[in-house]
A and B are shown apart, each in its own frame.
Chain A
């Protein structure tokens, strides 16, 4: 059912470029970008989580949101580079359940980033110097976020080892 789509995708010029171009900017460059985006998205999100769980308490929680644009930039770099990698090897990813698990974990992790920010914004700002500790709900969300990123990174790495078909013709 998926096969016609995969055959078509693999026949596109973009797919052929990603896979077969000898340029370091093609497949190697896209992979490198994907690693950099991961570092900023997962890394800054993990620091946000650790702060909620009690690390670096002197950083005002509400101010941490200044880092979120960089976190989102990392996410979008990875959405774009990830789509390019997917166009390059659609069969490899889409026939592997681990790929869908990875997407799910990233989806949950990024939803938690947005929700955590919203919950922090609801803390009344009319009490300067008043710094309530993060609620147990926020702490639980931080733990789930750390678990999701760990799982997403591991699932991503395992994609190189768990695929059953590389392309339509192999």
Chain B
């Protein structure tokens, strides 16, 4: 893993056209603002759907609230794009950052969890007769989704407090969390 991380940082390099752009005046703060706007769209849409599965706004058909999900996906795409721009500019600040590792892990959990919904509960929740109450399994998935996205936000916010410093001595952890 260490070797992979070191290789990634040197391969990205931080000298691409995007990195050049990100170093121009105001580019970084503006892209950060877009990252926050994408976050709001993602949590607004996916959170509204999760809350519906958990029983909020029970009189609204589950299928109807699901129409908001594309806006959440749009927010997610915006955030993958803007997030990649940060990593391309300062790769070592992210690749060696434990908060960033945690953030990626929880994005993965949220993604697997969302797919689990479509694999196991989609038909039950949207069946021919509209249901007021989502099946139990869907409720668990919704709760996991809300928790996972909130953890993504928290660990994202923590990135700045876990910036990697220089390495001293042997590294024994699974991931490199300092700048060699």
Contact = CB atoms under 8 A, between A and B. Distances in A.
Contacts of A149: 40
Nearest to A65: B57
A63 B59 contact: yes
Contact of A55 (B63, B71, B150): B71
B67 A56 contact: yes
Contact of A44 (B32, B39, B48): B48
Interface in A24-49: 24, 28, 31-32, 35-36, 38-40, 42-47
Interface string B153-180: 1101110010000000000000000000
A40 B43 contact: yes
A58 B71 CA distance: 15
Contacts, number: 115
A14 to B, nearest CB: 20
Contacts of B95: none
Nearest to A146: B37
Q: Which residue, of A51, A67, A70, A160, has the highest number of chain B Cβ atoms within 10 A?
A: A67
Interface string B96-117: 0000000000000000000000
Interface in A68-120: 70
A5 interface: no
A88 B82 CA distance: 29
B36 A38 contact: yes
Interface string A128-147: 00000000000000000000
B61 interface: yes
B44 A44 contact: yes
Contacts of B153: 32, 35-36, 39
B33 interface: yes
B132 to A, nearest CB: 12
Contacts of A158: 29, 33
A70 B51 CA distance: 9
B41 interface: yes
A161 interface: yes
Nearest to B30: A154
Interface of B: 26, 29-30, 32-33, 36-37, 39-45, 47-48, 51, 56-61, 63-65, 67-68, 71, 149-150, 153-154, 156-158, 161
Interface of A: 24, 28, 31-32, 35-36, 38-40, 42-47, 50-51, 55-60, 63-64, 66-67, 70, 149-150, 153-154, 156-158, 160-161
Given A28-B157, A46-B40, A60-B59, 5 more contacts: A35-B39, A39-B39, A47-B68, A66-B58, A158-B33
